[in-house]
Amino acid sequence: GRSYQIASIPGDGIGVDVVIEARKVLDRAAALHGFDLGWTEFDWSCERYARTGTMMPEDGVEQLSAFDGIFLGAVGFPGVPDHVSLWGLLIPIRRAFAQYVNLRPVRLLPGTSSVLKNRSAEELEMVIVRENSEGEYSTIGGRQTGPAGEFAVQESVFTRAGVERIIRYAFELARTRAGRVCSATKSNGIIHTMPFWDEIFTEVAAGYPDVHSEQCHIDALAARMVQQPDRLDVVVGSNLFGDILSDLAAAITGGLGMAPSGNINPAGEYPSMFEAVHGSAPDIAGQGIANPVAQILAGAMMLEHLGESAAARAVNAAVEGVLAAGEVATPDLGGKSTTADLGTAIAAALDASPSRIAGD
Ligand code: NAD
Ligand code: IPM
Ligand code: MN
């Protein structure tokens, strides 16, 4: 039968709590749809850092290279500085495997409500296409002390090739959706990199006359995402801007517990990595109250990426069914259920999923 080798890196905090539940759901989906997920567990985390002095072994990236997919919980925990933990694990994987697209779908699911008044699911249906390999996330710069005192410099690097490929990806994606691309920049304030991005956007857009394109200042776009989200379809932005917009978009569609993410290597030469948009949530870690839906939906994205579309649809349907019924919900959704209750309910709902009854 069909079989996929998956590297599981639960990581830190609630990453551990939600990955267990997502695996429960994905294994059930695999069993029902006739394929096998072979999991290999990696303990790479801040806990490992405390023990050994590194987040992952020196050949960590190499160890991951043969897998069909990487399933990541979250990285970062008090006690290890965030720039150390993230640059020791998450960011090296994204870069080594040319996962230059961070795909972050944003949907208001049935049974959950938006903090925005009177917004329906049809009006909140977008995807953030975040550049995931360069931009503001750079190691160039440093701290110095000059005549006027101490200062820090941080360079952003935008390559023509890097900007062009992410914008092209956004336009291709828009063709499969509502056909609109909005580019988020700050070209009125950031005078070198952002006008460069805008120029490339205009060039690429010219090749897609069938797609509606617009360029927005990120500050105004942030307001618009709250006040008029219904006109947004594909939103493309740089590494940092895409990061910020994805938490905002999550917040208007039920919160961070609902938002999945895929770090995609479009050429398929390396494994892609799937995770929630949220982090390790130290404030609720270990309490059994984290919402596992974001991680479960990230699992559905992974199944889709592996070519198991029917199973991916079934997982999405199971999540929607359980949320719509409203009987099992974690505290962030207004309920009293535990992480495990919700994971178990979604796994159980798979047995009754319409796609399975339909026989695919
Ligand atoms: P966070 O996303 O971990 O948490 C922000 C808030 O959202 C917290 O109040 C948290 O309790 C809540 N929240 C997040 N996920 C939730 C869920 N599934 N269910 C219910 N509530 C949820 O962001 P943060 O506090 O800024 O970061 C915490 C740590 O995680 C830091 O070390 C940060 O660097 C790291 N981080 C890692 C990733 C990643 O691994 N991709 C992403 C974001 C943050
Ligand atoms: C995310 C996170 C990371 C990012 C941090 C933790 C480095 O916020 O995956 O959204 O900015 O990429
Ligand atoms: Mn983020």
For residue 232, the SS3 value is coil
Centre of ligand 2 to C-alpha 147, Å, is 35
Centre of ligand 3 to C-alpha 277, Å, is 6
Centre of ligand 3 to C-alpha 245, Å, is 9
Nearest CA to ligand 1 atom 31: 76
Centre of ligand 3 to C-alpha 246, Å, is 7
- CATH of the domain spanning 1-99+258-360: 3.40.718.10
> pTM of the full predicted structure?
0.97
Ligand 2 close to Cβ of residue 86 (< 6 A): yes
Please, how many CA atoms are within 13 Å of residue 6, restricted to the half-sphere of its CB? 26
Contact 100, 273 (CB under 8 A): no
Centre of ligand 3 to C-alpha 244, Å, is 6
Nearest CA to ligand 1 atom 25: 281
**Fold of the domain spanning 114-253:** Isopropylmalate Dehydrogenase (3.40.718)
The string over 264-292, giving b where at least 16 C-beta atoms fall within 10 Å of a residue's C-beta and e elsewhere, is bbbeeebbbbbbbbbbbbeebbeeebbbb
Nearest CA to ligand 1 atom 18: 257
**Where do the H-state alpha helices sit in the chain?**
14-33, 46-52, 60-64, 82-88, 90-96, 160-175, 193-206, 218-227, 239-251, 293-305, 309-325, 339-350, 354-357
Provide the pLDDT for residue 162. Answer: 98
Q: Average pLDDT of each block of 10 consecutive residues along the chain (360 residues)?
A: 97 98 98 98 98 98 98 98 98 98 96 87 95 98 96 98 98 98 97 98 98 98 96 98 98 97 98 98 97 98 98 98 97 97 98 58
**What secondary structure letter does DSSP report for 113?**
-
Provide the pLDDT for residue 112. Answer: 87
| φ/ψ (deg, to 5) at 130 | -100, 130
Domain with CATH 3.40.718.10 in the chain: 1-99+258-360, 114-253
Ligand 1 close to Cβ of residue 74 (< 6 A): yes
Cβ neighbours around 354 below 10 Å, total: 11
Ligand 2 close to Cβ of residue 243 (< 6 A): yes
Nearest CA to ligand 2 atom 7: 86
Q: Which atom of ligand 1 is nearest to the CA of 247?
A: 2
Task: Identify which ligand lies nearest to the alpha carbon of 136.
Answer: 2
Centre of ligand 2 to C-alpha 250, Å, is 14
For residue 66, the SS3 value is coil
For residue 41, the SS3 value is strand
